Amino acid sequence: MTSPEQDSLDELSAAIRTFAAERNWEPFHTPKNLVMALSVEASELVEIFQWLTPEQAANVMDNPEVGEHVREEVADVFAYLLGVCGVLGIDLAQALRDKLVKNALKYPTPKPLA
**Domain boundaries defined on the chain:** 9-106
* pLDDT, tens only, 21-63: 999 999 999 999 999 999 999 999 999 999 999 999 999 999 9
**Residues 81, 25: Cα–Cα separation, whole Å:** 16
* pLDDT, tens only, 52-66: 999 999 999 999 999
* pLDDT for res 114: 74
Three-state SS string over 60-79 comes to HHHCHHHHHHHHHHHHHHHH
Quote the mean pLDDT of the chain: 94
Among candidate residues 4, 13, 8, 20, the one with its CA nearest the CA of residue 90: 13
Q: Which CATH class is domain 9-106?
A: mainly alpha
